Amino acid sequence: MDEGQGKTQDTLGRLCPLAGLGTPGVPPEELEEVAGEREVRESLLRLLFGSSCYFFSVESKSWDKAREFCRTTEADLVVINSNDEKVLVSLVCVCFRLLFSQEGTWKWVDGSPLTLTLFWEKDQPDNGGGRVSYGEEDCVQIRNTPGFWNDVSCETSLRWICEKGATLFV
């Protein structure tokens, strides 16, 4: 790694720290990690965009397990607020879990409703198209071609994206 790349990685590490990766104030001995979680944290792709840090997973988990993981890193599953964020996410990923549905109303993890319906693939969401074998489809996956969304079961294992605000230094 050249000197410039090292400085960029160091700055990104300070702006986008993850609990358990040398985050100030979080001693490693206080982290309750299951075997392998540290390796997963270290292998996450980190990306700074606007005032948010995005952490892209390299493994698959159910929606509940993905959210639990994000929370252990002091983040949460991503909330997409603009078309620019949607484009960014769809360029980096193949399939990721995002939001969930409660009684037919799609909501982000912060409780805000999904208002940008242009994200859906044609004829989606369809809750499995009436096929019982698909079960309830109350979670979303991103497809990177052309970047539109599909509803899937929350038990489906997919990669995920965590998001947290960037740490500002004064």
In this prediction, residue 65 carries a pLDDT of: 92
Arithmetic mean of pLDDT, 113-136:
70
Arithmetic mean of pLDDT, 133-142:
76
In this prediction, residue 48 carries a pLDDT of: 79
pTM over 0.85: no
Higher pLDDT, 39 or 137: 137
pLDDT in tens, 8-43: 344 445 567 655 443 333 344 444 443 344 444 455
In this prediction, residue 133 carries a pLDDT of: 60
pLDDT in tens, 64-76: 999 999 998 889 9
CA distance 140 to 63: 9
Check if CATH label 3.10.20.30 holds for domain 3-165.
no
Arithmetic mean of pLDDT, 126-147:
70
Question: Please, what is the average pLDDT of the chain?
Answer: 69
Q: What is 76-129 written as a DSSP string?
A: EE----SHHHHHHHHHH-SSEEEEEEETTEEE-TTSPBP--GGGBPTT---GGG
